[in-house]
Amino acid sequence: MQISYEDLLTQHTEKVKTKPVEKTKSYESTVSKLEEGSILQPLIETELERQLADITDPDRVKEKRRKKQVDARVAQSNIWSKRIKSKAYRKVKREEKQRKLTENMKIQIELEDEDEMPFERPAKSENPDVISLINQHIKKNQENLCEINSLPTENQQEEKSTENTTLQRTTTPKDSPSAIESILEVDQFVTEKIKIEQSDAPEVREETLLGWNSWGGASLETKKNPSNTKKITRTGITIRKRKDFATSHLIINESLSSTTRNKKYSAQINPKEADDTIIPAINQPATLLDRLISREKEKRTLL
């Protein structure tokens, strides 16, 4: 007997229906997703629907916030490239500057030579005035030759040069930098590092406020009183606690890390809440006004 293709298909379908299905975890998860409709969710067609879904759907809002936080962390970790100034970077910049200066000098010299060339070329003429000028020039050259012969010898010049060098060594101060150091700008890096360390270091100073006698000039000195003196304390980083304390070729500006950090991502609240927060008054006149207002309120309540 011959069995047709359709009969085979029917037999196979019946076997599949009668065979029990093993309900594993993956099978149950796929069934639950199909029942919920998250996989077969219809695609958003218009841009307006997409914008509404970004606002209304809490999962999308959470995902967007998470992406912003990740971007902020990446940006914060990449701040080190802006905060570091190395000697190698300075060296490359210095070499580029010197190369540009030499190129400009060469161009200027070439232009000067081109300008001087037409004046140096003598004009071709057979006038008697020209012949007399040539004779005068020859006489001057002869006089110059006589003066050159009367000049001192090489030994005398060497003795004079040695005397001049000894005088220069005695007159120049010890602390002045040499010519090589001034060209390479070696001390500039160290001075800048010291300035940044001093600016970031903690400081405590007293300031005397100007009184009524300030119009009298610099001769009148203001006397310190508890009413006109003000103590200012500045928090900072000590030199030993700096990140670039052990290194001699780096300057790390640690003050940039606080300024570049975004307040929205540093706080544990929403961005809108961070914008709407009221900054408390720190200035002294504001506190004085608050005291006056509170006193007036107390008086009115008593009346």
Residue 240 lies in a domain: yes
Given a cut of 50, whether residue 34 has pLDDT beyond it is: yes
Residue 238 lies in a domain: yes
Distance of CA 187 to the CA centre of its chain: 21
Residue 262 tokens, joined: 């975004």
133 within a domain of the structure (yes/no): no
Question: pLDDT at position 39, please?
Answer: 46
What CA–CA distance (Å, rounded) separates 20 from 196?
A: 77
Confidence of residue 267 (pLDDT cuts 50, 70, 90): low
Q: Does the model's pTM come out above 0.75?
A: no
Domain total in the chain: 1
Q: How far is CA 221 from CA 23, 208, 217, 232, in A?
A: 94, 11, 9, 21
DSSP E strand boundaries for the chain: 84-86, 203-208, 229-234, 250-252
pLDDT at 150 over 70: no
**Does any domain span residue 232?**
yes
Greatest mean pLDDT among 26-30, 159-163, 199-203 lies in: 199-203
Tell me: the pLDDT tens digits for 60-95? 888 888 888 888 887 777 666 556 667 777 788 888
Side-chain half-sphere CA neighbours of 156 within 13 A: 4
CA 2 – CA 11 distance, rounded (Å): 15
Domain extent at residue 239: 201-246
Residue 224 included in any domain: yes
Say whether 207 sits in a helix, a strand or coil.
Answer: strand
Kind and range of the H or E element at 79? none
Among candidate residues 245, 203, 210, the one with its CA nearest the CA of residue 224: 210
In the chain, what's the furthest Cα-to-Cα distance?
A: 140
pLDDT of 55 reads 81
Residue 125 counted as domain residue: no
Q: Which range (9-13, 30-34, 39-43, 278-282) has the least confidence?
A: 39-43
At residue 64, the pLDDT reads 86
Q: Residue 231: which pLDDT band, with cuts at 50, 70 and 90?
A: confident
Checking if the pLDDT of 172 tops 50, the result is: no
